């Protein structure tokens, strides 16, 4: 890892991966096929792309039982406790409908309603991501979404990873579709004979999934197109280099495009972190990936002091920030742009990725300047409520009509004036 | 207007206007020019496209004074009262940062921070839309956005409409850029020597503005690409046909693509509405536009009963719904998908468009199924906060590590375990 003296504005922003034209053409073709042929096309693509010939499109009761048998008990207990923690945190995000009244009879308000149906995409292949299921499904459940349909690509024998099936089962997800890629996104967006059409699709995926989500966006809502994961560790000379290094590596092992950065005014710490990273890389299973990520996107930025370190964080607006300093809470209010802020030496990012209760779906690529973690609010929508009394209308008709006319909308003005006239006829 | 018996699902959805390839090429060229040449390009395009040679890019103090002199006092008072109403409503939407603590020392929370800078686009040309300014600027101000930059195309003499300047001045907007179209959007997204770069751009515009917003989306946030405006009036046989007709026309006069629909179980009302529409069209200034809109997109749907009428509204998920029935509040909870719901015969849509206090920036084209009116929340973002104590880490380390390992992320597990080990060293 390189140690760099900060002397100008720095940025994490990279051009989003858009895939090439060939990928786009394939995605468009898949979406069109699913819209036309529904389940038949979904099965055909699952056979062609995942190598699985399915009996049932949905995970069966037998498969659920086998998944529980196959999974380690510690993992099952950990999933259960994580669910409790994540549900507890997200329940505090619930929005209520509200109303306000005035003496003239006016009532104004905001009605909150959950989405009717949501699709949750869970990546498959050789890896299993049960934490994705928890983070995407729980806020939707807390929001009281009517129907949650999960979808994930099966292995060649037509099965999902036991951890995926158990996580979904622990949450009570009833419909798990064994399909992945653009074909799964298209099925969720437009519906098939057996997959219900949804209003919003959430969850990460490869470039086919990302392009398909982009293509159906507008017809349905989507969460975001996530970029590579990022961590920025702010540390002072009280920070332990072995903790800092471990956290950089936990980010860097995700993928070769992941970003892991330290910002510190302490040159001794910087030197020790470089050493520690090398030492800890030695026996890391995914060392090759982590090393490449650190070479390409890793850095240790040396600042003049802690205030400049915080400035750098705000410039970067990273997905994750760890504050490993003597008084971490002192800096909380100064951090304006970050997806998640981990305070103090025991708050490893891993704690939030899996367990603490906050959501791990976070803005990347500098979008924390204007975006938020996934919340319950992403699964509800609001309607404005307006009730005007005859008195309120009569009192304000002249002003309202004058605003309509200055914009050149005579019919708008008349819609108010006809009521003022109508009201006087009532008397 | 045609009267249609409802017998199947109906939809408002239309393909979004994307503009043709020529428009896209022009927009791309404009954005590139602004990024390259900044203010110089902004002035050049304003001369070329708006026919205005500007001395100052920003509205001056003298121009503000002249705008107040030129504007009718009734309109100024109406703007002032509308501002009070809109601010009062939006202040009720404010979100607070919050924290929750556990006995083991865990602290989790959600920090709310306003966006640093927001751009508000206000359409110009011959018409003036001061209400747009109120609806876009007030929620940003209530959110405590650091910097609000407004932009609107000038007329050929280099001036903005007095109502636009007065509305902005009443709100205390200090920076009003005299530029429009794709060049204004590019200036806001990327900044020029004199226009600050913003984090989010809100406000409606023509197809050049819409394409430019779509192009800069991701680099900055945008509100939405709004479709044509829509109203659905649910009415029973107690509704006054002249009110219903007036409200349909207030929607239809917007543009030829506007949608105005009545849903009613009452055939006599339907017949009377058709007559009233024709009568009121006779002396309407924008009759040609309204007539075309009603011919192409207007309809009166006859239903078997009120419940079916509400079903139709939920299928349509319209921007505006008016409930002109004997007991309007009875139906509020049944309406699940709508941008704004106007209850009772005195609650003309015009009241909400300009004055009552709710926002008139609303989801169109069926997106009320998953989208909301513009709110204060659109100008803030959240950061998750995680603080784990040594006790919390030690208690949960085993479970957290097991979840990381089931996903194949060994470095994630080690980042927790190294701390457990580190903690025992402290003792």
pLDDT tier at A372 (50, 70, 90 boundaries)?
very high
Q: Please state, in angstroms and as integers, the Cα–Cα distance from residue B417 to each residue in A330, B120, B300, B399, following that order.
A: 27, 49, 67, 11
Burial A15-27 (b: 16+ CB within 10 A, else e): eeeebeeebbebb
Predicted confidence (pLDDT) per residue in B105-117, tens digit = 999 999 999 999 9
The kind and range of the H/E element at B142 are helix B130-142
Interface test with B, best of A146, A202, A381 (most B CBs within 10 A): A381
Give the residue from chain B lying closest to A384, CA to CA: B340
State the nearest Cα–Cα gap between B207 and chain A, in angstroms: 17
Average pLDDT over residues A54-73: 96
Cα B60 from Cα B174, distance rounded (Å): 10
Predicted confidence (pLDDT) per residue in B28-38, tens digit = 999 999 999 99
Give the pairing type, strands B107-114 and A340-343: unpaired
Q: Are B17 and B199 in contact (CB under 8 A)?
A: no
Average pLDDT over residues A400-422: 94
Average pLDDT over residues A204-233: 91
- Whether the pLDDT of residue B14 is over 70: the answer is no
pLDDT tier at A89 (50, 70, 90 boundaries)?
very high
State the nearest Cα–Cα gap between B407 and chain A, in angstroms: 5
pLDDT tier at B131 (50, 70, 90 boundaries)?
very high
Q: Nearest by CB to B416, which of A348, A377, A390?
A: A348
Predicted confidence (pLDDT) per residue in B141-167, tens digit = 999 999 999 999 999 999 999 999 999
pLDDT-above-70 percentage for chain B? 97
pLDDT, residue B126, reads 73
Cα A414 from Cα A404, distance rounded (Å): 9
Which residue would you say has higher pLDDT here, A219 or B64?
Answer: B64
State the nearest Cα–Cα gap between B75 and chain A, in angstroms: 6
pLDDT, residue A12, reads 67
- Whether the pLDDT of residue B10 is over 90: the answer is no
pLDDT, residue B13, reads 67
pLDDT, residue A423, reads 66
Q: Would you call B247 and A415 a contact, using CB atoms and an 8 Å cutoff?
A: yes
Which residue would you say has higher pLDDT here, A12 or A45?
Answer: A45
Predicted confidence (pLDDT) per residue in B377-413, tens digit = 999 999 999 999 999 999 999 999 999 999 999 999 9
Cα A89 from Cα B254, distance rounded (Å): 45
Q: Nearest by CB to A403, which of B75, B381, B409?
A: B75
pLDDT, residue A14, reads 66
Identify the CATH homologous superfamily for domain A3-16+228-356.
Nitrogenase molybdenum iron protein domain (3.40.50.1980)
Beta strands in A54-181 (DSSP E): 98-101, 107-114, 117-121, 147-151, 175-177
Name the token pair of A107. Answer: 């009532």
- Whether the pLDDT of residue A327 is over 90: the answer is yes
Average pLDDT over residues B318-341: 96
Q: Would you call B221 and A367 a contact, using CB atoms and an 8 Å cutoff?
A: yes
- Whether the pLDDT of residue B87 is over 90: the answer is yes
In chain A, CATH 3.40.50.1980 covers: 3-16+228-356, 21-222
Catalytic residue at A319? yes
As a whole number, the mean pLDDT across chain A is 94
Give the residue from chain B lying closest to A366, CA to CA: B219
- Whether the pLDDT of residue A16 is over 60: the answer is no
Q: Report CA torsion sign: B317, B379, B152, A415.
A: positive
pLDDT, residue A10, reads 75
- Whether the pLDDT of residue A179 is over 60: the answer is yes
pLDDT, residue A302, reads 95
pLDDT, residue A15, reads 60
CATH fold of B228-370 reads Rossmann fold (3.40.50)
Give the residue from chain A lying closest to B381, CA to CA: A372
pLDDT, residue A13, reads 67
DSSP symbols for A182-202 = HHHHHHHHH--SSSPP-SEEE
Which residue would you say has higher pLDDT here, A47 or A226?
Answer: A47
pLDDT, residue A19, reads 59
Beta strands in B238-364 (DSSP E): 259-264, 299-302, 320-324, 340-343
Average pLDDT over residues B283-303: 95
A and B: number of Cβ contacts within 8 A: 376
pLDDT, residue A7, reads 76
Stretch among B14-23, B126-135, B257-266 having the lowest mean pLDDT: B14-23
pLDDT, residue B17, reads 55
Alpha helices in B191-228 (DSSP H): 207-216
- Whether the pLDDT of residue A72 is over 70: the answer is yes
pLDDT, residue A3, reads 86
As a whole number, the mean pLDDT across chain B is 94
Interface test with A, best of B232, B350, B372 (most A CBs within 10 A): B350
Cα A69 from Cα B150, distance rounded (Å): 61
Predicted confidence (pLDDT) per residue in A99-146, tens digit = 999 999 999 999 999 999 999 999 987 778 999 999 999 999 999 999
Average pLDDT over residues A88-100: 96
- Whether the pLDDT of residue B224 is over 90: the answer is no
Identify the CATH homologous superfamily for domain A21-222.
Nitrogenase molybdenum iron protein domain (3.40.50.1980)
Cα A144 from Cα A220, distance rounded (Å): 18
Cα B236 from Cα B328, distance rounded (Å): 10
Predicted confidence (pLDDT) per residue in A137-168, tens digit = 999 999 999 999 999 999 999 999 999 999 99
pLDDT tier at B16 (50, 70, 90 boundaries)?
low
- Whether the pLDDT of residue B46 is over 80: the answer is yes
């Amino acid at each position: 890892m390189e140690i760099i003296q900060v002397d100008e504005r720095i940025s994490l922003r990279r051009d989003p991966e858009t895939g090439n034209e060939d990928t786009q053409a394939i995605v468009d073709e898949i979406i069109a096929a699913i819209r036309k042929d529904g389940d038949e096309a979904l099965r055909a693509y699952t056979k062609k792309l995942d190598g699985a010939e399915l009996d049932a499109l949905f995970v069966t009761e037998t498969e659920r039982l086998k998944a529980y048998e196959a999974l380690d008990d510690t993992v099952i207990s950990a999933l259960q406790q994580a669910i409790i923690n994540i549900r507890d945190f997200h329940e505090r995000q619930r929005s209520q409908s509200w109303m306000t009244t005035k003496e003239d009879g006016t009532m104004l308000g905001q009605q909150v309603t959950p989405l009717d149906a949501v699709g949750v995409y869970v990546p498959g292949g050789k890896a299993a991501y049960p934490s994705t299921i928890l983070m995407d499904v729980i806020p939707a459940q807390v929001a009281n979404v009517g129907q949650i349909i999960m979808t994930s690509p099966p292995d060649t024998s037509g099965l999902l990873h036991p951890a995926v099936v158990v996580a979904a089962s622990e949450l009570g997800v009833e419909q798990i579709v064994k399909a992945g890629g653009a074909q799964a996104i298209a099925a969720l967006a437009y519906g098939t004979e057996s997959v219900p059409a949804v209003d919003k699709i959430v969850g990460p995926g490869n470039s086919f999934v990302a392009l398909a989500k982009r293509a159906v966006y507008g017809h349905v809502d989507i969460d975001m197109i996530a970029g590579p994961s990022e961590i920025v560790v702010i540390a002072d000379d009280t920070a332990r280099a072995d903790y800092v290094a471990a956290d950089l590596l936990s980010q860097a092992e995700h993928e070769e495009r992941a970003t892991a950065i330290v910002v510190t005014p302490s040159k001794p710490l910087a030197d020790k972190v470089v050493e520690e990273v090398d030492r800890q890389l030695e026996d890391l299973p995914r060392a090759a990936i982590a090393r490449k990520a650190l070479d390409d996107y890793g850095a240790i930025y040396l600042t003049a002091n802690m205030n400049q370190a915080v400035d750098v964080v705000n410039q970067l607006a990273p997905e994750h920030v760890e504050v490993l300093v003597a008084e971490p809470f002192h800096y909380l209010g100064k951090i304006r742009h970050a997806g998640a802020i981990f305070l103090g030496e025991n708050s490893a990012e891993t704690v939030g990725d899996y367990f603490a209760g906050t959501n791990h779906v976070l803005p990347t690529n500098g979008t924390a300047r204007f975006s938020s973690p996934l919340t319950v609010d992403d699964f509800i929508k609001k309607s404005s409520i307006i009730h005007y009394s005859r008195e309120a209308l009569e009192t304000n008709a002249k002003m309202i009509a004058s605003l309509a006319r200055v914009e050149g909308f005579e019919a708008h003005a008349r819609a108010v004036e006809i009521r003022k006239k109508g009201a006087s006829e009532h008397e």
